[in-house]
Amino acid sequence: GRGVGNTALTQRAPAGPVLAITPFNAPANLLAHKLAASFAAGNTTIVKPPPQAPASSTALVRLLLEAGMPVEAVQLLHGGGDVGAQLCAAPEIAVVSFTGGVTAGHAVAHAAGPKRVMLELGGNAATIVCEDADVAAAARVCARTGYSNSGQSCISVQRVYVQRDRFEEFADALTAEVKTLVVGDPLDPATDVGSMVDDDAAERVVRWTAEAAGQGARVAIGGTREGAVMAPTVVVAPPAEARVVRDEVFGALVTVLPYDDFDELLAECNRSSYGLQAGLFTRDVRRIITAWRELEVGGLVVNGSSNFRLDHVPFGGVKDSGIGRESPRWMIEDFTVTKTLLLKGLSIWGDQ
């Protein structure tokens, strides 16, 4: 064949300057992910922090410079969407890594044009509780992971589908668990649910809760706010067309919905425009494999909620949840390019 007597080698090379755009909900943590991967790949990085929460990102970059990072290696530029668009379009930028909302993500992709773009966008995470699950344990996990960071996480538990025979049992158990959550000052270590990013965000969740109640849902607990602090809310049996089911809430609210047929439920979950991550409580291996294969999501957590990730495994979604995979290890792939060396008629292995 044509390959006889030839040798091919490949290497990963730095892709070039990376633009890292980060969100308000975990500004330092997610920036650290992007910086670590970019530096490991051999790139320089420009950081655009979120205008709602710029302080921690600024402090992190300052610490890097104070520790001896060359000023040419990392730069930080504040601003809103107009600044982000100009940076995305800049010819000097080779890769854009964006974490944030869907609308802004689409604008980033449009501005970046043919550049390599990584988008980690929104979610509307479903967690499924089958009839063979430990309902009390599932309720406990959903309460802890549905309201952490006031629900402001792209993989926060939002839709919990429970097999109908266990539905009321789970709804009661979740409500009981939510009653134990400590609501208050986010700087107090004892607090479970603190403030949302601003008053408007909390008011939106209140409004969506009231809409769902008007559509026939039962608000088991919550539905009110004090300033930007949203009371942890459980909405039981809202209709599929309710915004708390259809759209990304991104707040301290969890819905509980019954299901009858497992396969039909998977199809229902896939009707969402999002596809980031899902959770599944069951002991049935067949269901696990079926859900893993059929759910249109980037990741499935078994016997845990959707709100779980490990930094050394790929993380990302499909559909409106984005393109590419995050986590420091896997971002290195997108922050590098493959270069091939073909040696025609020359073998580096000698005569062997």
Q: Is 189 exposed, middle or buried (0-12, 13-18, 19+ CB in 10 A)?
A: exposed
Catalytic residue status for 154: yes
Phi then psi for 338, rounded to 5 degrees? -90, 130
Distances (CA, A) of 165 to 142, 161, 169, 264, 272: 19, 12, 8, 16, 25
Joined together, the tokens standing for residue 65 give 């410079």
Alpha helices in the chain (DSSP H): 27-40, 55-66, 81-89, 102-112, 135-146, 167-179, 199-214, 243-246, 262-269, 285-294, 328-334
Active-site residue, selected from the candidate residues 88, 130, 142, 154: 154
Q: In one letter, which amino acid is 58?
A: T
Active-site residue, selected from the candidate residues 120, 177, 248, 326: 120
Query: What's the CA gap between 260 and 161, in Å, rounded?
Result: 10
Q: Is 55 exposed, middle or buried (0-12, 13-18, 19+ CB in 10 A)?
A: exposed
316 CB-near residues (< 8 Å, 6+ apart): 118, 120, 276, 298, 322, 323, 324, 325, 326
Catalytic residue status for 130: no
Count of C-beta atoms within a 10 Å radius of residue 109: 19
Least Cα distance to 30 among 38, 75, 302, 249 occurs for 38
Query: What's the CA gap between 19 and 117, in Å, rounded?
Result: 10
User: Chain centroid to CA 345: how far?
Assistant: 49
Q: Is 229 exposed, middle or buried (0-12, 13-18, 19+ CB in 10 A)?
A: buried
Rg (CA), the chain: 23
Residues taking part in catalysis? 120, 154
